[in-house]
A and B are shown apart, each in its own frame.
Chain A
């Protein structure tokens, strides 16, 4: 197993004691594509980031088991974590505008990631950067390598980000809302690219999103989270047959082009969902 999580809890100190943001979450991930879906505040990002132990400094993280490829992430020290973060597990964030360095060219940033994890000469790293840009299907990689982030479109920026994450040849890719800042057409291209790279390189993927139908197109399995809990876990192909009223609610409240709905269904939240 690439990732094994049992009884994960993430709590934050508040004026009235610890408030639990994630509770009793169990996950396993092999060489597959897992989607984590939920609304804002459902704990989906915290859950995925806990695998890299990339949480706000005041977070209290506990788990019965939190392993990345057999390494106990909970007990690991900083040097050990550095061998996982970036090197073996990459993280792609929502908006490339904020995750790329604005004063370095795209090529220099990718080359930096390459050298940090693999060493080698500058020239070799530069060449590798251009090669990686070609792998994320950028048509003119030489040109893009010399461009600064502000000269790139959102979709192009996200491709650069993906290229940078691929530099150390990781086994796991965590994509946290990688396309929410992009247009629908670009969104589909980027997700297809991620799917294709993950399959071709035999990587594991955790795709975090609030868009349930979208995730089902690009993942094998979907975990639905609500208020810090996993409510339902199912194969992506079974999504239309989802049982849980919350999952059903997320699907039914969407306006669609194919069916005209005079009025959108509004989610009725049941307090019993919080009792697991």
Chain B
């Protein structure tokens, strides 16, 4: 579904992403982990078309991507951002937020699609005419996911979708993302610094460090500690050490 080959992203003189290659099959989830500044978000943003300054080859469903993307690309590939406080227009109601992608992509049955969209992410119709500031963080992220799904995409790009949320809300959103993936056969690319979150949602994982993809492995290999690169091993060890309550 998604092929990325020797992708490099530059910001002025700095090379943020250095020749990253991976592919994701339809209906799969691919996770990208790394520390801040490792270039993991830059990969996602270049793929989404938010950063035109890249070299290499990227294709979605067999179609090679150019710097400028056609409208159909943006219908099929949608993104969910980290901060639901920043990614929803504060002066627009949920109804308006959800209908905008439908208008942009000239879709029909707006009324039915909005009701279905709300229902799909577990929001009641009472939320439909609220403003973002009247919603909790978890409800906002649900709206952001519903909005991304409005145009019936095949691919969701998830940039730290739960790191601004409470752990209890994080669990609900992660469950929602698994359910949606099954129901719609979506392809996910999930970027996160949280190894446990990535391993929970994604079967295959890429580890980035200083702009390079240093290791590709399965979630099971990561869990079992069958890592090959020292950076992966270090990230894993720290994550395991801190995720369990202090043993007595």
The chain A residues found within 8 Å of chain B, CB to CB, are: 39-40, 154, 183-188, 210-214, 216-217, 236-240, 249-251, 253-258, 260-261, 263-267
Contacts and interface: CB of A to CB of B under 8 A. Distances in A.
Contacts of B9: none
A197 to B, nearest CB: 20
A185 B38 CA distance: 13
A250 B246 contact: no
A187 B10 CA distance: 28
Contacts of A253: 167-168, 170-171
Nearest to B239: A257
B247 A210 contact: no
Contacts of B196: 254-257
A2 B51 CA distance: 53
Contact of A263 (B170, B175, B194): B175
B236 A265 contact: no
A109 to B, nearest CB: 23
B175 A264 contact: yes
Given A184-B238, A185-B234, A255-B197, A266 B172 contact: yes
Given A183-B36, A264-B200, A256 B248 contact: no
B45 interface: no
Interface residues of B, number: 36
Given A212-B245, A216-B246, A240-B248, A184 B193 contact: yes
Contact of B248 (A184, A237, A255): A237
A19 B181 CA distance: 41
Contacts of B240: 257-258
Contacts of A210: 166-167
B200 A255 contact: yes
Contacts of B137: 40
B174 A240 contact: no
A217 B246 contact: yes
B222 interface: yes
A114 B122 CA distance: 53
Contact of B242 (A40, A184, A255, A261): A184
Contacts of B72: none
Given A211-B167, A265-B171, A257 B195 contact: yes
B171 A267 contact: yes
A256 B245 CA distance: 12
A273 to B, nearest CB: 13
B35 interface: yes
Contacts of B239: 184, 257
Contacts of A211: 167
B199 interface: yes
28 contacts: A39-B167, A39-B168, A184-B235, A184-B238, A185-B35, A185-B234, A186-B35, A213-B242, A214-B242, A216-B246, A236-B245, A237-B247, A249-B168, A251-B245, A253-B171, A254-B167, A255-B196, A255-B200, A256-B196, A257-B196, A257-B240, A258-B243, A258-B244, A263-B175, A264-B171, A266-B172, A266-B175, A267-B168
Contacts of B168: 39, 249-250, 253, 266-267
